[in-house]
Structure 1
Amino acid sequence: MNFLTEIVAFVVAIGVLVVVHEFGHYSVARMCGVKVLRFSVGFGKPLVRWVSKKTGVEWTIAALPLGGYVKMLDEREIDPESGQSIPPEDLPRAFNQQNVAKRIAIVAAGPIANFLLAIVLFSAVFAGGVTEPSAILSAPAPDTLAARAGFEGGETIVSIRDASGGDTHPIRSWSDLRWKILDASFDHRRIVLTAKTHDGTYDFPVSVAGINDADSEQDFMDTLGFTPGGGTLTVAGVEAGSAAQKAGLAPGDKLRAIDGRTVDNATSFIDYVKAHAGKPVTLTIDRAGKTRSVTLTPDLKHDAATGKEVGRIGAALGNQLPTVQVRYGPIESLRLGVNRTWDISMYSLRMFGRMIVGEASLKNLSGPVTIADYAGKSARLGPAAFVSFLALVSISLGVLNLLPIPVLDGGHLLYYLVEAVTGKAVSDRWQLVLQRAGLVCIVALSMIALFNDLARLIRF
C-alpha cells in the first residue's frame, strides 16, 4: 500500500508541476503570437492524443511521465514528411522570428510559472493553517553551537533578531525557527534568540558560522544542537531478546530520563544510547503513573548508515511533541508565501554553488526515487504536507531550469541575453557545441542523483 501511495503521489506531483511549467511557456507563446504545434506531458510514445479544433494544438500524454515540452513553429526545423520548411504565410508566427524580448519572455515563463505555483501553494497552506511542532528546544549535545550559546533544554524560542540591530521577527513554530536559522547560517550572521524559560525571558547570542561539513547528511539543525523538545517519549514496541526486553521495558512505558538527563526528544535519546554500547545506563520511566528506574546495557550493533558499531536497546519509540496551530490572514499568507518561495530559491542556488566549489556534498542531489519517497510520505501526512512538498519541488524545478546550462531554459536565456547585448545571435555551430556540453552536464547530474537515490534505498 505504501509503494502504491508513493507511485500515485509521485505521478500526481510530477504531472501537476510539468503541466504548470509547460503551460507557462504555452500561454506566453500564444500571447506573443507564436504558433504552438504540440503540448506534451511526458516523453516517448504518445498514449493519448487529441487536436484542438480552435487552436490546432496537438495535446499529448506520453509514456514517460518525467517531464514534458511545448513544440513551437520554427523555420529552422524541416518537416520530416514533406522535407520542406514552414509555409511562408506562417513565417511571422515562427518562434525564431520573434524579437529577443519575446523569446526571453516565452522561455522564462516556464520557471516563473513554477515560482508562482509555489507562492499560491504556500499561501494556501499559511491561510488554511497547519499544525507544526512548537519551537521548544531539547537539551543540546555538548560542544554544539546551541550548548555554547547557553541553552540547556526546555527553552521556548519566541523571537529572533540580528545581533547588529534591525527588526525583531517572532518565532511561531519549529519550522519558522529552522528557516530563520538557515538564512542566518548562509549569511554567516550573528543572531540573538529570545527564549522563555521556567524563570523568565532571556536573550541568547548565537554566532551561526555556516554549514561547512561537505559530507554530512545530518540535518543542519541537529548539527548545530537545535532539536525539538518538550515532548513525551513512549516505548511503542520491544524486540524479543533485546536489552530492552531483558530489562523489563514494556510498550506504553514513558521515558523520563537517561542517566539523570531529561528525555524529551527521540533523536537525543537514540544518540546517547548509540554512544554507550556495552555500558550500563539507567532509565527513569513512568509506568501507569508510577516512576521507577531500570538499568540496561545497550547491545553492540552494526549501523549500516555510518558503518560503525553503535549501541541499541531494541525498542521502538513514539515521540509526541507539543504542537501549535499556525494560521495567517490572506494578505499575510500571500506575503509569507512570497518570502518562503524567495528564501527556498536562494537557498537552492546557494547550495548548488557550494556543491560546485566543493563546500557542500553532491550527496545533497536527489533523483526520482527520493522524490517519489517524499511524495508518498508527505501524502500520508495529510493535504498540507503534500501541498508544501509540491511547492518545494516546484521551486526546485524552477531554479534548476534557470541554471545557465544549455538544453535547459537557463541556457537558452543565456543565448538570448548575449544576443540582446551584442546584437548578434549565437551561431548554430556554437549552439550545437554548447548543447552537447550541456547534455553531458545534465546526464552527469542525473547519474549522481540516481546513484544517491540507490545508495539511500540500499542503506535504509
Structure 2
Amino acid sequence: MLTFFAFVFAIGLLVFIHEYGHYWAARRCGVGVLTFSIGFGKPLYQWQRGQTTWQIAAIPLGGFVKMLDESEAPVASDLRQYAFNTQHPAKKMAIAFAGPLTNLLFACLVYAGLYAHGVVTLKPIIGAVSAGSIAANAGLKAGDRITLVNAEKVSDWEQVQINLFSAAGHAQLLIGAKTAQGAEKQFALDLSLLKAAEFDQKILSRLGLSPFAATNRIAFIQAGSAAERAGLQVDDLILEINQQKLLDWHEFQDVVASSPSQALSLTVNRNQQVIALVVTPDAIELNGKKVGRIGVSPANDEALYKKMQQTVRLGPLDALVAGVIKTYDLSILTVKMFGKMLVGALSPKQVSGPLGIAEFAGQSAAMGWLAYLQALALISISLGVLNLMPVPILDGGHLLYHGYELLSGRTVPEWLALVLQKIGISLLLLLMALALFNDANRFLFGLG
C-alpha cells in the first residue's frame, strides 16, 4: 500500500506542478483556460473556479490544460483576443516552456531545501575492489579515495556514479585517486569489456567497486554454491586460508579467484569454536579466463562505513545555488542518457514505466521523507527534460512550431502539423510500449 500511495502522490503532485506552470503562464499571457485536469479519461471530481473547470480524472498518468483555441472549437468574436492561436509566438513559447520549467524549478527548490536541512553523503573512498574485476585490473585498491572521474572532480559516491553513467559508450574511463599512502595516481579502466545493457544501476559492482568496506565475516551464502557444499554458514568468521592468516576479505577474494577447481583449506570461527573446512571454488569464465567463485558475500564494516559518512549543510543562498547546480547536472545527464540510448551506447532497458516509477517511489518512501523528496526531485527532472524533447505533441515539439512562427511570421501548415502530430503520437506510443515491456520483464518475468 505504501508503494501505491507513494506513486499516486508523486505522479499527482508532479503532474499538477507541470500543468500549473502552463496554466500560470497562460493566464499571465491573457489566454483563457477552459479546463485544468489531473489525469485523463472520465472526470471523477470537478469544481469551477472563475472560467476554468478544475478536475481529477480516472487515469492518473498525466494531465492537461485546455485553453481557448480556435483550432479546437469555435470562439466567440468578443473572446477571440483570449484565444491561444491569436497570441504572439513568444507568448505561445512561454506557455509551452512553463510546464517543464516548473518541474525543473521544483527540483531546484527540493534540492536547496535538502542542502539547507543537511544531506548525508558518502566520501568516495573505495571500500572494496572485486578480484579480477575491471577496477582491480586497472590497479585500484580498497582505501583509495576517488578525486576525479573523466577529469570531473567528485566529492561523494553519488557524483562518482553520475560521471560513470556519462562514460557509457567510451572505450576507457580515467579515474584519479589518492591512494591510502597519500600518492595521487590516475587509473585507466577498460570499458570495452562492458555491454551497453550493463550500464545500469549496478555499474559500480560491474566495475568491481564498492563503497562498503568488507570484514572477514560471511553475511550471505548462495544456494547450491561451493560454499554451501563445503559447509560454510552465515556469520562464520574466516581466520585462515591454506594455513595462512587472512588479513582482509580482498586477500580471500584473490586466493579464491586464482584457484578455480582447486581445494582450499579454511579455518573459521563459528560461535567461538574453531572449525576446519575444505572448499573447492567453482570455475567460471570472466573476461575470457577461468576464475574461482564460491558464492559468498562478506558483512560490511559498519564502524568504517559511519566514518565515511559526511553531512553537507549549507546556508540558504549556498543551498539554492547547490540546488540549481545539481538540477542542471542531472538534467544534462538525462539528455546524455537519451542520446546514448539512441546511438546504442546505453540499453533501452533503462527506460522505466509506471511500475518502475512506483517501485522507485515506494522504496524511497520506505527509506524516509528525505529519500522520498530526492525521488520526487529526480522524477520531476525526468518529466521536465522529457517534455522538452523536440517531439511533436510534447512541449518541445510545440516550442519548435512556435519558434518557426516567430522566425518566419507564418504558422506551420495544417497538413504538416497533422503529419507531425501522428509521428509524435507514434513515437510516444513506442516509448510507452518500451517502458511497459521493460516493466513487465522486471516485475512479472524477473528479467532485465
TM-score range normalised by the length of the shorter chain: 0.7 to 0.9
SS of match in other structure, 1:215: helix
Shift of 1:255: 6.0
* Pairing 1:205–2:191 present: no
Counterpart contact for 1:236–1:318, Cα < 8 Å = yes
Q: Give the secondary-structure state (helix, strand or coil) at the position aligned to 1:201.
A: coil
Please name the residue that 2:328 is paired with.
342
Could you tell me which residue of structure 1 aligns to residue 54 of structure 2?
A: 59
- 1:452 lines up with 2:421 in the alignment: no
2:288 matched residue in structure 1:
none
Partner of 1:75: 70
Structure 1 residue 118 corresponds to structure 2 residue 107: yes
CA-CA distance at 1:388 after TM superposition:
1.1
| TM-score, normalisation: structure 2 | 0.83
Instruction: Look up the match of 2:96.
Output: 107
Report the alpha carbon displacement of residue 47 of structure 1 after superposing the two structures with TM.
0.9
Q: Equivalences for 1:400-411 in 2 at 5 Å?
A: 400-411=386-397
8 A contact 1:140–1:152 mirrored in 2:
no
Secondary structure at the residue paired with 2:196? coil
Tell me if the contact between 1:126 and 1:326 (Cα under 8 Å) persists in the aligned partners: no
- Hey, what's the Cα distance between the residues in 2 that align with 1:368 and 1:170? 32
- Alpha-carbon distance in structure 2 between the residues aligned to 1:258 and 1:29: 72
1:449 Cα deviation from its structure 2 partner: 1.1
3-state SS of 1:66 partner: strand
Contact 1:42–1:64 (Cα < 8 Å) also in 2:
yes
What is the identity, as a one-letter code, of the residue corresponding to 1:63?
Answer: A
The answer (yes or no) to whether the contact 1:256–1:284 under 8 Å persists in 2 is: yes
Cα distance change of structure 1 residues 151 and 101 upon mapping to structure 2, 3 Å threshold: same
Q: Which residue of 2 aligns with 1:304?
A: none
Structure 1: how far apart are the matches of 2:82 and 2:272?
78
Cα distance, 1:205 vs structure 2: 1.1
Deviation at 1:347, TM superposition (A): 1.3
Deviation at 1:18, TM superposition (A): 0.4
- The residue aligned with 1:306 is none
Q: Classify 1:15/1:286 alpha carbon distance in 2 versus 1 (closer, same or farther; 3 Å).
A: farther
Equivalent position amino acid for 1:328 in 2: R
Give the Cα separation in 1 of the matches to 2:19 and 2:218.
49
The DSSP-based 3-state class of the residue aligned with 2:441 is helix
Q: 1:319 to 1:40 in 2, by over 3 A?
A: farther
Q: Matches of 1:121 and 1:225 in 2, distance apart?
A: 33
| Distance in 1 separating the partners of 2:325 and 2:219 | 39
Task: Render the CA deviation track for 1:405-449: whole Å, top value 9, x for unaligned.
Answer: 111111111111111122211011111111001111011111111
**What is the CA–CA distance in structure 1 between the aligned matches of 2:263 and 2:145, rounded to whole Å?**
32
The answer (yes or no) to whether the contact 1:139–1:154 under 8 Å persists in 2 is no
Any conservation in 1 of the 2:165–2:199 contact (CA below 8 Å)?
A: no
Q: Percent identity?
A: 37
Contact 1:136–1:230 (Cα < 8 Å) also in 2: no
Q: Which amino acid aligns with 2:341?
A: M
User: What is the rounded CA distance, in whole Å, between the counterparts of 2:184 and 2:297 in structure 1?
Assistant: 37
One-letter code aligned to 1:32: C
CA RMSD of aligned residues (A): 3.6
CA distance in 2, matches of 1:96, 1:273: 71
Pairing of 1:30-429 with structure 2 (within 5 A): 30-52=27-49, 55-78=50-73, 85-137=74-126, 138-142=128-132, 144=134, 146-157=135-146, 159-160=147-148, 169=153, 171=155, 173-183=156-166, 193-197=176-180, 200-207=181-188, 213-216=195-198, 218=200, 219-232=202-215, 235=218, 247-254=230-237, 262-263=248-249, 280=263, 287=270, 294-297=277-280, 313=295, 319=300, 322-323=305-306, 324-330=309-315, 331-429=317-415
**Contact 1:156–1:195, Cα closer than 8 Å, also in 2:** yes
State how far apart, in whole Å, the 1-side matches of 2:266 and 2:158 are. Answer: 30
Confirm or deny: 8 A CA contact 1:232 1:264 kept in the other structure: no
Q: 1:125 to 1:209 in 2, by over 3 A?
A: farther
Structure 1: distance between partners of 2:278 and 2:164: 38
* Unmatched 5+ stretches in structure 2: 285-291
> Structure 1 residues 226 and 57 mapped into 2: Cα distance closer, same or farther (>3 Å)?
same
Match of 1:20 among 17, 21, 25: 17
Shift of 1:141: 3.9
Q: Structure 1 residues 312 and 378 mapped into 2: Cα distance closer, same or farther (>3 Å)?
A: farther
| Counterparts in 2 of 1:140 and 1:318: CA distance versus 1, 3 Å | closer
Unaligned runs of 5+ in 1: 79-84, 302-309
C-alpha deviation, 1:292, in angstroms: 6.3
Count of residues in correspondence between the two structures: 428
Residues 76-123 of structure 1 show CA distances to partners (whole Å, capped at 9, x for unaligned) of 222xxxxxx222111111111110000000000000011111111122
Q: Secondary structure at the match of 1:343?
A: helix
The CA distance in 1 between the partners of 2:61 and 2:224, in whole Å, is 46
CA contact (8 A) 1:300 1:312 kept: no
Structure-2 change in CA distance of 1:275 and 1:177 (3 Å): same
Q: Does the CA contact (< 8 Å) of 1:185 and 1:208 recur in 2?
A: no
Aligned equivalent of 2:418? 432
Work out whether 1:6 is the aligned partner of 2:10.
no
Q: Please state how far the C-alpha of 1:316 moved relative to its aligned partner.
A: 8.2
Give the Cα–Cα distance (whole angstroms) in 1 for the partners of residues 404 and 189 of structure 2. Answer: 39
Distance 2:26 2:40 in 1: 21
Supply the distance in 2 between the matched residues of 1:300 and 1:209 (Cα, whole angstroms).
23
Q: What SS does the corresponding residue of 2:60 show, helix, strand or coil?
A: strand
Conserved in 1, the CA contact under 8 Å of 2:116 and 2:314?
yes
Pair 195,76 (structure 1): closer, same or farther in 2 beyond 3 Å: same
Distance 1:106 1:261 in 2: 64
TM-score by length of 1: 0.81
Q: Distance in 2 between matches of 1:339 and 1:186?
A: 25
Q: Distance in 1 between matches of 2:258 and 2:383?
A: 40
Deviates further, 275-284 or 421-430: 275-284
Change (3 A) 1:186 1:239: closer
